[in-house]
Each structure stands twice: as C-alpha cells, then as structure tokens.
Amino acid sequence: MAEKDALGRRGEHVAADWLQERGYTLVDRNWRCPVGELDLILRQGTTMVFVEVKTRSSLAFGHPFEAITPEKAARLRRLAAAWCREREPGSVGVRIDAVAVTDAWTQRPVVEHLTGIV
C-alpha cells in the first residue's frame, strides 16, 4: 500500500506543478472532512477549482479517468460544497476538474486535464 500511496502523492505533486505553470494558484491540498478528501484546490481568476488527481504507472490496467465513477463525481460535488462552506462561503465560481498523470516517476510524466467534469 505504501507504494500506491507514494505514487498518488507523486501524481498530486506533478498535477499541482503542471496547473501552477498554467496560471492556477494553489490554495489547499489533501483537504479532508467526514465525507472524504479533495486532492487539490486551486484558484483560476475568480473560480475555485477542485481537482481530482488520478495517477497510474502505466495504462496497462486502464486510463486513470476511468476511475471517476458517477458515485465519485457526486462525492466530489459534496466535498467542494463542504470546502466552500468552511473556507470561502462567498466563492464566485466553482468548477470540478480531473487530472490524469501517467508515468509519474519518469522525467516527463504524461498529464491530461479535463475541465468541468461534473
């Protein structure tokens, strides 16, 4: 399990760096509440962007985005609402994105970004 956790942490780091290089501002990471955890919370202009990061060492067992089920998407909506209530009740805009990271341990990980997944 430690290896899987390390891969996930590496993917979140890669995703955060990749998004910040594109103008996003990192606000929070690995925020937890009783409902679950949000991987990354960033700001893009006046929009709060909640990012689910899925990391795989390869595509041998499917694409990382395939792990975002309708149940997971519903949980992400609840988590984003909980974070906004607790941290920024006046948020102007909210969006939920997904980032897939493959080959995370290589010099050039592959990063794919989907905006507005739910």
Residue 114: strand, helix, or coil: strand
Q: What is the CATH number of the domain that holds 34?
A: 3.40.1350.10
Q: What is the pLDDT of residue 117?
A: 94
Contact 30/37 with Cβ under 8 angstroms?
A: yes
Q: What is the pLDDT of residue 7?
A: 87
State both tokens at 85: 């209530």
Residue with tokens 């060492």: 57
Mean pLDDT, all residues of the chain = 93
**Has residue 92 got a pLDDT over 80?**
no
Q: How many domains does the chain have?
A: 1
The pTM for the full model equals: 0.92
Tell me the pLDDT tens digit for each residue of 39-72: 999 999 999 999 999 999 888 889 999 999 999 9
Q: Which residue range is the domain that position 6 belongs to?
A: 2-114
State both tokens at 104: 């995370």
Cα distances (angstroms) measured from residue 52 to each of 64, 80, 90, 107: 11, 11, 22, 22
